[in-house]
């Protein structure tokens, strides 16, 4: 197939992330000819994608089972997970069958956990239809749901058979979701591939044009970074160094916002504020220069991403950060920068320092 990019994720299980246009034939090859049933887990608000892909499933001789779930983070609950299990059970799914996660990051997180937990693991394929899903959630083998106590606290590491990033899907994506997805792309620019920042700064408008070369390059660069990191450290268990934790830059504060807001914020918007917060924390702790901290705010603002959060919420946010997955006991840990492209760790910062960084991203009351 012309103009298709394959990016390999290696490790315990090797699979490809495929980027291009019109990838239905790639889906048929991933399903194969020995699969009897395929569950297509998709947001109820976007049934068209599931119906189109159900046609591809039928072309392989398999029976499609469409499972509609709530949109966004509302899909990542124990109740929805149980509903999916019930649907698989009633359809008679066996170990030779498959699950396809279609939609944004929340849907692929859920679908991945459904596949990982059904009969202790059946075939999984991701078809992300949002920018955030393509560059982050669907790549890397993390699956899971949220609980009232925190985000992604229940889940499993489970590699898909493949990930299909069909860029045609982005043409129908609301602008607000496209912008939100850019937060995960520029995160990688700050930590690892600084060329991403150069591309965005050169032309922020082109970076958000779904038909442009710059956007495709940004998608592929972000995926390559994540594929490389995940290949070396699938389960965040690499001894010494940051390993996969580098992908959580800005996420401790972001996940705290999501928990405090009961998951009503878009993940990308929370990550953007998290990046502004961690840049301030880096500067205040003497690790990041004023200019590099300012560059965070400038890049995010140029893309139309938020860099502030409500004032007066620090105690709630601090409690939420204490249950972050990077914490060790009562020791708070933050991925931080010692310069653009130079990630490191900050462990056990003084609470006053955290509050000062929060003050810098707090909205000023009228």
**Taking 60 as the threshold, does the pLDDT of residue 358 lie above it?**
yes
Q: What is the DSSP string of 5-42?
A: EEEEE-SSS-EEEEEES--HHHHHHHH-SS--EEEEEE
Q: Give the largest CA-CA distance in the chain.
A: 63
Pair 125, 156: CB distance under 8 Å: no
* Total count of residues recorded for the chain: 366
CB crowding 313-337: b at 16 or more within 10 Å, else e = beeebeebbeebebbeeeebbbbbb
Closest CA to 17 of 138, 106, 192, 178: 138
Angle between helices 105-117 and 78-91 (to 10 degrees): 50
Q: How far apart are CA 158 and CA 141, in angstroms?
A: 5
pLDDT at 244: 83
pLDDT at 1: 45
**Taking 60 as the threshold, does the pLDDT of residue 211 lie above it?**
yes
Q: How far apart are CA 83 and CA 91, in angstroms?
A: 12
Q: How far apart are CA 300 and CA 306, in angstroms?
A: 7
**Taking 70 as the threshold, does the pLDDT of residue 271 lie above it?**
yes
Q: How far apart are CA 361 and CA 170, in angstroms?
A: 30
Type and span of the H or E element at 146: strand 142-147
pLDDT at 18: 96
Residue 2: pLDDT band (50, 70, 90) is low
Other beta carbons less than 10 A from residue 246's beta carbon: 20
- 129-145 pLDDT tens trace: 999 999 988 888 899 99
pLDDT at 66: 98
Average pLDDT over the chain reads: 92
Q: How far apart are CA 249 and CA 142, in angstroms?
A: 16
What's the whole-number mean pLDDT along residues 18-40? 92
pLDDT at 237: 61
pLDDT at 115: 97
Please name every residue paired with 346 in a beta bridge, in sequence order, or none if there are none: 334
Percent of the chain topping pLDDT 90 = 81
Closest CA to 10 of 155, 184, 141, 100: 141
Residue 241: pLDDT band (50, 70, 90) is low
Pair 296, 275: CB distance under 8 Å: yes
pLDDT at 366: 37
Residue 292, phi then psi, degrees to nearest 5: -70, -35
pLDDT at 236: 66
pLDDT at 151: 82
Residue 326: pLDDT band (50, 70, 90) is low
What is the CB-side half-sphere exposure of residue 34 using CA atoms within 13 A? 4
pLDDT at 297: 98
pLDDT at 206: 95
Residue 4: pLDDT band (50, 70, 90) is very high
Among 239-243, 321-325, 330-334, the range with the most confident prediction by mean pLDDT is: 330-334
pLDDT at 140: 82
Q: How far apart are CA 366 and CA 359, in angstroms?
A: 15
- 50-104 pLDDT tens trace: 999 999 999 999 999 999 999 988 999 999 999 999 999 999 999 999 999 999 9
Dihedral sign of CA atoms 148, 150, 154, 155 in order: positive
Residue 42, phi then psi, degrees to nearest 5: -150, 155
Q: Which domains does the chain have, with CATH numbers?
A: 5-172 (3.40.50.1970), 175-194+244-360 (1.20.1090.10)
Q: What is the DSSP string of 88-128?
A: HHHHT--TT-EEEEEESHHHHHHHHHHHHHGGG--EEEEEE
pLDDT at 365: 45
Closest CA to 130 of 155, 156, 109, 150: 109
**Taking 50 as the threshold, does the pLDDT of residue 199 lie above it?**
yes
**Taking 70 as the threshold, does the pLDDT of residue 337 lie above it?**
yes
Q: How far apart are CA 260 and CA 358, in angstroms?
A: 14
- pTM value is 0.92
pLDDT at 238: 58
* Residue 363, Cβ density class (10 Å: 0-12 exposed, 13-18 middle, ≥19 buried): exposed
Token pair of 324, please? 């972050």
What's the whole-number mean pLDDT along residues 103-122? 96
- 35-48 pLDDT tens trace: 999 999 999 998 99
């Amino acid at each position: 197939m012309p103009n298709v990019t394959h990016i390999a994720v290696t490790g315990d299980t090797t699979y490809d992330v495929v980027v291009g246009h019109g990838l239905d034939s790639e889906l048929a090859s991933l399903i194969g000819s020995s699969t009897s049933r395929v569950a297509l887990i998709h947001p109820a608000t976007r049934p068209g994608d599931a119906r189109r892909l159900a046609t591809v499933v039928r072309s392989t001789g398999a029976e499609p089972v469409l499972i509609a779930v709530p949109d966004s983070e509302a899909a990542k609950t124990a109740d929805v997970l149980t509903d999916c299990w019930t649907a698989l059970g009633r359809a008679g799914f066996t170990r030779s069958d498959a699950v396809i996660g279609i939609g944004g990051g929340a849907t692929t997180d859920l679908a991945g956990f459904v596949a990982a937990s059904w009969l202790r693991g059946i075939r999984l394929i991701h078809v992300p239809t949002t920018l955030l899903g393509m560059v982050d959630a669907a790549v890397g083998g993390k699956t899971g749901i949220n609980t009232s106590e925190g985000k992604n606290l229940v889940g499993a590491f489970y590699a898909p058979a493949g990930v299909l990033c069909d860029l045609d899907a982005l043409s129908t994506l609301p602008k607000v979701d496209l912008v939100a997805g850019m937060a995960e792309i520029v995160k990688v620019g700050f930590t690892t591939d600084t060329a991403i920042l150069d591309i965005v700064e050169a032309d922020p408008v082109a970076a958000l044009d779904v038909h442009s070369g710059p956007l495709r390059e940004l998608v592929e660069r972000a995926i390559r970074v994540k594929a490389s990191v995940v290949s070396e450290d699938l389960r965040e268990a690499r001894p010494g160094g940051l390993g996969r934790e580098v992908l959580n830059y800005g996420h401790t504060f972001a996940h705290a916002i999501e928990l405090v807001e009961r998951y009503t914020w878009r993940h990308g918007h929370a990550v953007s504020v998290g990046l502004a917060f961690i840049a301030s924390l880096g500067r205040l702790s003497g690790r990041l220069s004023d200019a590099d901290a300012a560059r965070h705010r400038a890049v995010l603002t140029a893309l139309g991403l938020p860099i502030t959060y409500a004032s007066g919420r620090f105690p709630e946010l601090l409690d939420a950060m204490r249950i972050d997955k990077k914490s060790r006991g009562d020791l708070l840990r933050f991925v931080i920068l010692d310069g653009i492209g130079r990630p490191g760790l900050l462990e056990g910062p003084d609470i006053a320092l955290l509050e000062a960084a929060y003050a810098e991203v707090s909205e000023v009351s009228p």
